[in-house]
Amino acid sequence: MIRNIVFDISNVLAPFRFKEFLSEKGFDAAMIKRIIKASAMTPYWTEYEKGKLTYEEAIEAFLSVDPDIPEELHKAYDSCSGIMGRYDYTEGWIDTLKEAGYKLYCITNFTPAGYEQCYDSISFIERFDGCVFSFREGIVKPDPDIYKTLLRRYNLEAEECVFIDDTEENVCSAEELGFTGIVFTGYDDAVDKLDKIVTL
């Protein structure tokens, strides 16, 4: 019997507006690609999401990949406000699930700066029964330990949980532990799939 719905946040409950965010800072498409290649596409980004690097250490690490764009990298990440947005459906979805009696949780990969500076976009988590953030745990999805952390901390059984994430690898990792998984491709599709699993 499913009792718990476990969400990823980015691009499921709140849009991660990475390219739009950088464009709004004045970067053209070529520079956006270069910034992303030097930061988010490196292992250093994962370490940042694990909370293993401070902001300053992360920037230095990114500069070691592309030392010719120091001003651009500093400008790109001096503030993360606006990198997360809001979906119109999120609050209503939360309402529906809570009214039906389900407990809500999240497991999400997040940088410390993203959490601190974009909290207004994810403040809906205050209505959740528990959350596991990568930067607090030193673990990122799809490492099985981050799912085990949720189960252990909130005394949950994997077989009683549905996990919804937009990355198939993350969903597969949860399914291997006994979660029912849904790969998120859009709100309507996720609701249809969830309706086949739970009673609303």
The model's pLDDT over 63-107, given as tens digits with 9 standing for 90+, comes to 999 999 999 999 999 999 999 999 999 999 999 999 999 999 999
Q: What is the pLDDT of residues 147-181, one digit of tens each?
A: 999 999 999 999 999 999 999 999 999 999 999 99
Read off the CATH number of the domain in which 185 is found: 3.40.50.1000
Instruction: Name residue, tokens 């498409």.
Output: 29
Q: Residue 64: count other Cβ atoms within 10 Å of its Cβ.
A: 11
Are 107 and 153 contained in the same domain?
yes
Q: Rounded CA gap, 6 and 194, in Å?
A: 12
Same domain, 95 and 172: yes
Give the CA angle between residues 48, 54, 59 to the nearest 5°.
Answer: 75
Same domain as 68, residue 94: no
> 3-state DSSP call for residue 141?
coil
Structural domain containing residue 109: 4-15+86-195
C-beta of residue 77 within 8 angstroms of C-beta of residue 101: no
Could you give the CA distance from residue 182 to residue 170 in angstroms, rounded to a whole number?
A: 10
Provide the whole-model pTM: 0.94
Q: How many residues are present in the chain?
A: 200
